[in-house]
């Protein structure tokens, strides 16, 4: 088997230009709707992280929640469970010095595939200096598992460029899909990407892409870096910023089970129309339940948007 031709590479040629664009959003069907006042409703994914009793019996309504946008309390219009199928991209660091074996990466992907729910589709992308599609979106477990034979260890990891290309050429084409998940298999090391971290996290938040990381050991052993985030810090910012989680790569069975359980059973959509805030600025988001035993996650910030 050979790696497939793919639409990702051409994105890398324009990443420098994309990095200069701020506040740009591609409106997507069902995600924002105009109002009479001109302020548009926003929808964000909310994940139930923990609660007393069985989660499949939990009934949570908007009246049990408080939402703050930029510190200003907001009225929640809709809060409902989302049982729709997911689009999942597994982005795999194929660089030469990743402190994980091809067998480790293969085991992780197979564990994720084994926990997919009916209707979910997964794509596998490998990256070093550039990203390459290894297997396009499919729910066929045999195809996804066979694709792991194309994993390799070569070159250096331009992680941020690979994520940006995935956003532009993959996720932004999934119009109307409310569950879009990025699962990164990496130690978080980035080698001279042209895309700034701020651009990547802003685009992930704009597109409501929740990021999970299967974390390999840090190849830098925590060393400081002059022009880049430490790998561990980069991973923490990616997951916290998008409402995701981090799991150690050597615990893939648990990771796969919990990630896909969140996606299938604990995923809600919250819709509100911002009031009392400047829509052009980036604001902190906070969603809390009246019951302190219920823990919720959503993205850290609502990026500013020019309507």
pTM of the model: 0.88
pLDDT in tens, 43-70: 999 999 998 888 777 889 999 999 999 9
Range of the domain at 275: 1-307
Q: Give the number of domains in the chain.
A: 1
Distance between CA atoms of residues 125 and 51, nearest Å: 34
Q: At what angle do helices 197-206 and 159-169 cross, to 10 degrees?
A: 30
pLDDT of residue 20: 35
pLDDT of the residue at 8: 61
Query: Residue 190 in 3-state DSSP?
Result: coil
pLDDT of residue 32: 44
Containing 199, the helix (H) or strand (E) segment is helix 197-206
Question: What pLDDT score was predicted for residue 29?
Answer: 34
Q: Which residues of the chain have pLDDT under 50?
A: 1-2, 5-6, 9-36, 307
pLDDT for the residue numbered 306 = 59
CA-CA distance, 223 to 58, in Å (whole number)? 44
Q: Which two tokens stand for residue 189?
A: 């090391």
The enclosing domain of 191 has a CATH number of 3.40.50.410
């Amino acid at each position: 088997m050979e790696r497939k031709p793919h639409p990702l590479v051409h994105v890398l040629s324009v990443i420098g230009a994309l990095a200069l664009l701020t506040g740009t959003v591609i409106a997507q069907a069902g995600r924002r709707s105009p109002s009479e006042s001109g302020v548009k409703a926003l929808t964000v994914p909310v994940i139930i992280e923990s609660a007393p009793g069985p989660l499949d019996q939990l009934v949570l309504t908007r009246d049990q929640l408080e939402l703050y946008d930029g510190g200003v309390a907001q009225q929640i219009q809709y809060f409902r469970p989302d049982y729709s199928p997911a689009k999942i991209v597994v982005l795999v660091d194929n660089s030469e010095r990743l402190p994980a074996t091809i067998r480790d990466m293969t085991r992780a992907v197979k564990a994720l595939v084994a926990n997919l729910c009916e209707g979910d589709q997964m794509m596998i992308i490998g990256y070093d200096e550039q990203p390459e599609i290894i297997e396009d979106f499919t729910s066929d477990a045999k195809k996804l598992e066979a694709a792991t034979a194309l994993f390799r260890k070569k070159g250096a990891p331009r992680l941020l460029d690979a994520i940006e290309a995935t956003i532009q050429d993959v996720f932004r084409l999934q119009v109307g899909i409310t569950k879009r998940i990025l699962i990164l298999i990496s130690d978080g090391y980035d080698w001279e990407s042209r895309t700034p971290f701020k651009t990547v996290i802003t685009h992930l938040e704009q597109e409501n892409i929740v990021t999970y990381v299967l974390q390999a050991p840090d190849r830098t052993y925590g060393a400081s870096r002059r022009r880049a985030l430490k790998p561990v810090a980069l991973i923490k910012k990616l997951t916290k910023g998008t409402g995701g989680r981090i799991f150690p790569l050597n615990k893939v069975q648990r990771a796969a089970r919990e990630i896909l359980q969140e996606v299938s059973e604990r995923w809600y959509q919250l819709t509100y129309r911002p009031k009392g805030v400047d829509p052009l600025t980036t604001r902190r988001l906070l969603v809390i339940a009246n019951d302190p035993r219920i823990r919720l996650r959503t993205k850290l910030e609502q990026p500013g948007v020019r309507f």
